[in-house]
A and B are shown apart, each in its own frame.
Chain A
């Protein structure tokens, strides 16, 4: 299937996803379930990579500050800026594209090949909306919290590393963290996070939904889903940065 055909089918698919849910109560219950599956279950991995990244950024900055004219608080400042601007939105987005994306594509894909999606359709349920709409809402709702969490634990990781490696003092580091904060950068990153959340859920759902064949094809779809949603995240990152930071 060509690139253009895929885009067309993706748009038609989204049109089916965003139709009125069958039952408000069922829909709400699904959203709660998905928040748990997509959000709460990702807290662990987000915390781990953010702590390590924050730590590494602080050490790299400290060891590169050889010029005595540069103040020590730059370490805290750089760590915060890196986390806020790029790491906690884009890198976390890419990691979640791997974790959440493959999970969604294989879940929906195996429902397709075992005829569970047909079973929904024959009951008169709009399967695309029932299965995927709650996932998108859940991710768009929960990912900003993951972003904030990532920024916070990243800075903590930086602080901890500075303390343990004795690079800069805690006072300097914390001064840097509070120095010259531009609130708009947080807004910019939150917007990116929302767009990424949409990509991470809708693209893998699309690949899973249109699987045909068996377990092998589900595996392939899952790989494609992760690769393509990662590329889309990088592309969206570039475009949004140009639009929002110009």
Chain B
């Protein structure tokens, strides 16, 4: 479980996040949704500590991340996996070496165990065949899979994904979403996903935080999202003709 309490974050004059509080539960796919520029990435990066928050607290299963010193943060980072918006694969390393990297850096495994773990992770995301290729030689969807494999290599308790299916076709996007959800359940991870894709919201929105202009505007599940009175959320959800049509039919 990850809990945020009164998170504020600004860059100079610009207030990006305003007093955000919420609990993200383990074994669930928790989504952060909102328009472009609403502060999703800043929130996610604040949670994992790539941005320092101005005030507020972030608890990782009751451990106050904001109060930790550098080496304590470093320890807890070994329990985190992150899938970046662009994949952020190391382009000088092959697919296999990318997944192996965290193992080389932090695990005490033997060579054989490492090899086995890498194959297991690549197999889990269904990309074992491409293991010798380099990031530049595989498609966007495959890069996302490799990024997921790398993120889960060390068996993290917390998984973060910044728009894991942006730039993918609808079919692949859902496959990736489902994959993340399955892995979340398998290992009972606390997974937080940034997205502005309504398909993802409907498919895997077990818990949803809607932020609007840096404020927490709504919190709920995908079942509740159609009945909301919240105007900003309504505008967000029913922006596309498809969802407008669905609403009429309901």
Interface residues of A (CB under 8 A from B): 22-23, 25-26, 111, 114-116, 118-119, 121-125
User: Could you give 21 example pairs across A and B, Cβ below 8 Å?
Assistant: A22-B106, A23-B104, A25-B104, A26-B104, A111-B90, A114-B91, A115-B88, A116-B88, A118-B45, A118-B50, A119-B88, A119-B90, A121-B50, A122-B50, A123-B78, A123-B101, A123-B106, A124-B74, A124-B75, A124-B77, A124-B78
CB-CB < 8 A to B86: which residues of A?
114-115
Q: Is A125 in contact with B105, judged by CB distance below 8 angstroms?
A: yes
Top-7 shortest CB links A-B: A124-B77, A115-B88, A119-B88, A115-B84, A124-B74, A122-B82, A116-B88
**Considering only CB atoms and an 8 Å cut-off, how many residues of chain B contact the other chain?**
22
Q: Is A23 in contact with B80, judged by CB distance below 8 angstroms?
A: no
A-B Cβ contacts below 8 A, count: 47
CB-CB < 8 A to B88: which residues of A?
114-116, 118-119
Task: Give the distance to chain B from A109, nearest Cβ to Cβ, in Å.
Answer: 13
Question: Does B48 sit within 8 A of A, measured CB to CB?
Answer: yes
From known contacts A124-B74, A124-B77, infer whether A119 and B106 are also in contact, taking CB-CB under 8 Å.
no
Given contact pairs A119-B84, A122-B77, enumerate 8 new A-B contacts (beta carbons under 8 Å).
Answer: A115-B84, A116-B88, A119-B82, A121-B50, A123-B101, A123-B102, A123-B105, A123-B106
A25 to B102 alpha-carbon distance, docked (Å): 14
Which of A111, A121, A124 gathers the greatest number of chain B CB atoms within 10 Å? A124
Mostly, the B contact residues are mixed
Among candidates A22, A114, A116, residue contacting B105 with C-beta atoms closer than 8 Å: A22
Which of A114, A118, A122 gathers the greatest number of chain B CB atoms within 10 Å? A122
Q: Is B84 in contact with A118, judged by CB distance below 8 angstroms?
A: yes
What residue in chain B is nearest A107 (Cβ atoms)?
B92
What residue in chain B is nearest A22 (Cβ atoms)?
B105
What residue in chain A is nearest B101 (Cβ atoms)?
A123
Among candidates A111, A116, A124, residue contacting B106 with C-beta atoms closer than 8 Å: A124
Mostly, the A contact residues are helix
A121 to B85 alpha-carbon distance, docked (Å): 16
Q: Is A26 in contact with B50, judged by CB distance below 8 angstroms?
A: no
Task: Give the distance to chain B from A42, nearest Cβ to Cβ, in Å.
Answer: 18
What residue in chain B is nearest A113 (Cβ atoms)?
B86
What residue in chain B is nearest A25 (Cβ atoms)?
B104
Which of B77, B101, B105, B106 gathers the greatest number of chain A CB atoms within 10 Å? B105
One digit per residue, 1 when the CB lies within 8 angstroms of any chain A CB and 0 when it does not, for chain B 104-118 equals: 111000000000000
A41 to B144 alpha-carbon distance, docked (Å): 33
What residue in chain B is nearest A23 (Cβ atoms)?
B105
One digit per residue, 1 when the CB lies within 8 angstroms of any chain A CB and 0 when it does not, for chain B 91-132 equals: 100000000011011100000000000000000000000000
Q: Is B106 in contact with A122, judged by CB distance below 8 angstroms?
A: no
A122 to B49 alpha-carbon distance, docked (Å): 8
Which of A115, A118, A125 gathers the greatest number of chain B CB atoms within 10 Å? A115
CB-CB < 8 A to A116: which residues of B?
88-91
Task: Give the distance to chain A from B137, nearest Cβ to Cβ, in Å.
Answer: 16
A115 to B105 alpha-carbon distance, docked (Å): 19
CB-CB < 8 A to A119: which residues of B?
82, 84, 88, 90
Q: Is A123 in contact with B104, judged by CB distance below 8 angstroms?
A: no
A99 to B112 alpha-carbon distance, docked (Å): 40
A114 to B88 alpha-carbon distance, docked (Å): 6
Task: Give the distance to chain B from A11, nearest Cβ to Cβ, in Å.
Answer: 19
Q: Is A122 in contact with B91, judged by CB distance below 8 angstroms?
A: no
A85 to B26 alpha-carbon distance, docked (Å): 67
One digit per residue, 1 when the CB lies within 8 angstroms of any chain A CB and 0 when it does not, for chain B 67-87 equals: 000000011011010101110
One digit per residue, 1 when the CB lies within 8 angstroms of any chain A CB and 0 when it does not, for chain B 48-59 equals: 111000000000
CB-CB < 8 A to B91: which residues of A?
114, 116
What residue in chain A is nearest B104 (Cβ atoms)?
A26
A205 to B34 alpha-carbon distance, docked (Å): 36
What residue in chain A is nearest B48 (Cβ atoms)?
A122
A175 to B100 alpha-carbon distance, docked (Å): 58
CB-CB < 8 A to B104: which residues of A?
23, 25-26
A115 to B78 alpha-carbon distance, docked (Å): 18
CB-CB < 8 A to A125: which residues of B?
105
What residue in chain B is nearest A29 (Cβ atoms)?
B104
A192 to B161 alpha-carbon distance, docked (Å): 48
Considering only residues 17-75 of chain B, those with a C-beta below 8 Å from chain A are 45, 48-50, 74-75
